[in-house]
Structure 1
Amino acid sequence: MSRKIIVALAGALLSGAVGAAPTVEMRTSMGRIVIELDSAKAPKTVQNFVQYVNEGLYNGTVFHRVIPGFMIQGGGFTVDMEQKPAPRKVENEAKNGLRNDRGTIAMARTADPHSA
């Protein structure tokens, strides 16, 4: 059985606490997820992601690729599987010490390393 999970990201809930990492709330048809962003290690990626959120780019999108025990991918397609192109490129910040471990979030890209 295929189940589409609809995603809506609330505007960046930038915490008012000094030194606190910014957070974004993702609301899906299956529940709520709070995402903490590492603006110290990935400032350009965080700024770009927050801008996408505030522009509503992810609203009404689905998790279109799900590999159990490995990863989920979403944000690039609507419920009707219409692709939503990324409106701009952002510099790749992969050499910042962060890793794609379980429970983390990352920006997908094409073969162009600066396409996220």
Structure 2
Amino acid sequence: MQNIVLVILLILALSLIVTVLMQRSEGGGLGIGGGGGNMSGRPPASPAAKFTWILGAGFMAACLALTVISARNAANDSLLSGDLTPPAAAESDAPATPLGGNLLPPSTTDGPTTPPKADE
């Protein structure tokens, strides 16, 4: 359900962006463009403006729905409710190698690396 609401939210967001960019700027917000000496209140809403309001309301509804769904899913998850012990290490057939001796790789100035001879 969460994925469906997320897809709807993304479609609404893209539609809202395209709709806003397609509208003509009236310049009322910053005092730029349009307007003359006889400015009267607010012009009647165009169909594009009404459609933008509908898309905006749908976007907000989808955001709220996604928040409610996420909160319900997160209500069941808690760090303290489950077993906090780490999973057991995977058992392998190879014996553990001891960490004794020189762990650095041999340098070019060292002699040949030969294993020590066993006593016979």
- TM-score between both structures, scaled by the size of structure 2: 0.17
TM-score relative to the length of structure 1:
0.17
Flag the structure with more relative contact order, 1 or 2, with Cα contacts below 8 A and sequence separation at least 6.
2
Q: Which has the higher strand share?
A: 1
Structure (1 or 2) with the larger CA radius of gyration: 2
